[in-house]
Amino acid sequence: MPRKSEWIEQLPSALEELRQFPASVVDRAILEKVLRIERRTAIRLMNRFGGFQTGKTFLIDRVRLIEQLEQLDRGEAVTIERDRRSRLADELEKTRRLAPGRKVRVDVAPDVRDRRMKDLPAGIHLKPGELRIEFYGAEDLLRHLFELSQAMVNDFGRFQAAVE
């Protein structure tokens, strides 16, 4: 059985299309189109909903299909899935608002990756149990923190001696 989450979102529009469909039976291709599903999924659904074969064509009574899809659309499984999708969309929207994906670029000296403890700018003060940074705005603070992190990695012995 196909996962309902792949096609249940199409149920309202599919039902509307099927109600307006002029023929008394629906074939696999029509079911694929209205539910936006693949061939194999359409065949499985037609078997599930009481489809029948006429020659090489697989058909299902349109009224019976509508009744079964309406029942499914009102069912608990579909309601749960729609609620889950709604909660997921809400969480994604919250995440987008909190972290809009803006990358911060800070200009640093070309040799910053080789920074040593003795090369730190004058605004960084480090002694046992204390770190003090003088800065002039967010970018300046980021620049100082990046320089300090590079010096800590490149010159760990002196960093450790300075803070202990």
Q: Are 10 and 34 in contact (CB under 8 A)?
A: yes
Both 49 and 93 in one domain: the answer is yes
Range of the domain at 152: 112-163
Q: Are 60 and 26 in contact (CB under 8 A)?
A: yes
pLDDT of residue 139: 85
Please give the torsion angle defined by the CA atoms of residues 37, 41, 43 and 47, in that order, rounded to the nearest 10 degrees: -120
The token duo for 94 is 């919250």
- Domain of residue 37, CATH code: 1.10.10
* pTM score, whole prediction: 0.53
What's the number of domains the chain is made of?
A: 2
Q: Which of 66, 98, 130 finishes a domain?
A: 98
Per run of 10 residues, the mean pLDDT along the chain (length 164 residues) is 66 92 93 91 90 89 93 88 84 70 73 87 89 89 90 90 89
* Measured distance CA(118)–CA(112) in Å, rounded: 13
Residue 104 lies in a domain: no
pLDDT of residue 88: 84
Strand partners, 61: 25
Both 93 and 14 in one domain: the answer is yes
